């Protein structure tokens, strides 16, 4: 690729880090924004400074900026002085259901207002570029729980016949409603940001892609109890830490997609962008597993016995079963494919909890 200039918010987080590393390897100049708010949210386990330090050492083409996306004037100044940017990948967020309820203003200011600050700076100073937003499947709230489900010994799954729009045995598609459901405050603030991004694409005619991620994962995840399910459960098994299953008999299902496959999807969109397009992003049915199934994989395939207990109380707004129907993205970007299955993802986490 030519010497592109790329801005990545949340560069110390899982997807921001992988995006930064990937585009640096492609020869781009990358400016990474990260003020380590994840440590404020989650304590020492959420500290992302190691990732930003690694990127700084990795390439002279990387510049780390300790900027808060809530500070509108600083964001506008950054775009004016450092831009124009060919690509903005916006991953910075408050990502936890439970945490959002503790500080609703902080959650909304980061997720919604921070996104608006970036979008307006993009419109003013980088309007010929591409803006990618990492939204979340939490914009659907608990609507996926309205789907017709089957229950087996180890998991829930979708029935073949469904009355609910946007659900099939392929998973959840973009046709599902984001309205009339319980989202959690984090889901609501991310929904506000999601719709803002669509509007800047459609109303202003800008190249904006919205990716509603499910469980995005990888060994760089600074996983904690409140965020980063797969990496956290593997970490508990490795370190023999207690793990709590919250509700649904441990049969709740999630699909997993490796951070490298996420970034490769971003790259495909960047090469052929659209204006306000929305895509669900996840591992799909073939990369889905329940908590009970993951516990079994860890024990049978890796010899890791998880010390877990069960609580009948599920998290508010939590999904019973969620895996992603990627049909729309695959139709628009047929060159993209998933390269790592769920067992390969777990194997990498077990072998290399942190590879830097």
The pLDDT of residue 354 is above 90: no
pLDDT band at 137 (very low <50, low <70, confident <90, very high): very high
Residues contacting residue 37 through CB under 8 Å, at least 6 positions apart: 68, 92, 94, 110
Average pLDDT of the segment spanning 319-345:
96
The CA-CA-CA angle for residues 267, 23, 192, to 5°, reads 55
Q: How far apart are CA 48 and CA 223, in angstroms?
A: 11
The pLDDT of residue 287 is above 60: yes
The pLDDT of residue 293 is above 70: yes
User: Which two structure tokens, joined as six digits, stand for 40?
Assistant: 């404020």
Q: What is the pLDDT of residues 245-261, one digit of tens each?
A: 999 999 999 999 999 99
Average pLDDT of the segment spanning 27-54:
89
Q: What is the pLDDT of residue 194?
A: 98
Q: What is the pLDDT of residue 63?
A: 97
Q: Report which of 252, 247, 226, 253 is spatially closest to residue 311, judged by C-alpha positions.
A: 247
Average pLDDT of the segment spanning 170-195:
96
What percent of the chain stands above pLDDT 70?
95
Q: What is the pLDDT of residue 42?
A: 82
User: How many structural domains comprise the chain?
Assistant: 1
pLDDT band at 2 (very low <50, low <70, confident <90, very high): low
Q: What is the pLDDT of residue 192?
A: 98
| Structural domain harbouring 82 | 5-351
Identify the weakest region by mean pLDDT among 134-148, 223-237, 294-308.
Answer: 223-237
Q: Report which of 190, 206, 208, 27 is spatially closest to residue 109, judged by C-alpha positions.
A: 190
What 3-state class would DSSP assign to 4? coil
Residue 64 within any structural domain of the chain: yes
Average pLDDT of the segment spanning 261-287:
98
Average pLDDT of the segment spanning 231-244:
91
Q: What is the pLDDT of residues 81-114, one digit of tens each?
A: 999 999 999 999 998 888 999 999 999 999 999 9
pLDDT band at 355 (very low <50, low <70, confident <90, very high): very low
Residue 296 within any structural domain of the chain: yes
CA dist list (Å): 320 to 149, 151, 221, 290, 317? 9, 11, 23, 10, 9
Q: What's the sign of the alpha-carbon dihedral 127, 58, 92, 258? A: positive
Strands (E) located in the chain: 5-9, 29-33, 62-65, 87-90, 130-136, 149-151, 156-158, 167-168, 171-172, 207-213, 215-217, 243-246, 253-258, 275-281, 288-290, 308-311, 321-322
Q: What is the pLDDT of residue 54?
A: 94
Q: What is the pLDDT of residue 356?
A: 38
Q: What is the pLDDT of residue 203?
A: 98
Q: How far apart are CA 333 and CA 141, in angstroms?
A: 27
Contact (Cβ atoms closer than 8 angstroms) between residue 30 and residue 23: yes
Average pLDDT of the segment spanning 337-354:
87
Q: What is the pLDDT of residues 152-167, one digit of tens each?
A: 999 999 999 999 999 9
What percent of the chain stands above pLDDT 90?
83
CATH number of the domain within which 14 lies: 3.40.50.720
Residue 62 within any structural domain of the chain: yes
Residue 63 within any structural domain of the chain: yes
Average pLDDT of the segment spanning 262-290:
97
Residue 74 within any structural domain of the chain: yes
User: Which two structure tokens, joined as six digits, stand for 268?
Assistant: 């495909």
Q: How far apart are CA 230 and CA 228, in angstroms?
A: 6
Residue 356 within any structural domain of the chain: no
Q: How far apart are CA 346 and CA 352, in angstroms?
A: 10
Q: What is the pLDDT of residue 220?
A: 66
Q: What is the pLDDT of residue 227?
A: 53
Residue 342 within any structural domain of the chain: yes
pLDDT band at 225 (very low <50, low <70, confident <90, very high): low
Q: What is the pLDDT of residues 4-30, one digit of tens each?
A: 999 999 999 999 999 999 999 999 999
The chain-wide mean pLDDT, for the chain, equals 93
Residue 42 within any structural domain of the chain: yes
């Amino acid at each position: 690729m030519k010497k592109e200039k790329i801005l990545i918010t949340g560069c110390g987080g899982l997807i921001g880090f992988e995006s930064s590393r990937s585009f640096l390897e492609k020869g781009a100049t990358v400016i990474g924004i990260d003020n380590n708010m994840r440590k404020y949210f989650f304590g020492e386990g959420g500290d992302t400074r190691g990732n930003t330090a690694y990127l700084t050492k990795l390439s002279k083409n990387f510049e780390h900026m300790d900027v808060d996306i809530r500070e509108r004037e600083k964001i506008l100044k950054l775009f004016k002085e450092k831009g124009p940017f060919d690509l903005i990948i916006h991953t910075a967020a408050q990502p936890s259901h439970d945490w959002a309820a503790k500080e609703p203003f902080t959650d909304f200011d980061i997720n919604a207002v921070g996104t608006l600050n970036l979008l307006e700076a993009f419109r003013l100073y980088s309007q010929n570029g591409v803006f990618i937003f990492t939204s979340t499947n939490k914009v659907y709230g608990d609507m996926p729980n309205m789907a017709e489900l089957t229950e087996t010994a180890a998991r829930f799954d979708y029935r073949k016949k469904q009355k609910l729009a946007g659900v099939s045995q392929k998973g959840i598609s973009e046709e599902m409603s984001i309205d009339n459901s319980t989202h959690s405050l984090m889901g609501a603030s991310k929904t506000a940001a999601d719709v803002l991004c669509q509007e800047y694409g459609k109303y202003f005619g800008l190249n904006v892609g919205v990716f509603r991620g499910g469980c995005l994962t990888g060994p760089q995840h600074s996983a904690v109890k409140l965020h980063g399910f797969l990496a956290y459960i593997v970490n508990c098994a490795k370190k023999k830490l207690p793990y709590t299953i919250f509700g649904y008999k441990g049969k709740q299902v999630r699909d997993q997609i490796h951070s490298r496959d996420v970034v490769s999807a971003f790259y495909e969109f960047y090469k052929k962008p659209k204006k306000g397009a929305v895509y669900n992003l996840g591992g799909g049915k073939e990369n889905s597993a329940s908590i009970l199934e993951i516990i079994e994989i860890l024990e049978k395939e890796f010899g890791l016995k998880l010390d877990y207990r069960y609580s009948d109380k599920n998290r508010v707004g939590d999904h019973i079963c969620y895996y992603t129907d990627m049909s729309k993205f695959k139709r628009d970007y047929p060159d993209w494919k998933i390269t790592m299955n769920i067992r390969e993802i777990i194997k990498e986490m077990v072998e290399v909890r942190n590879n830097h």
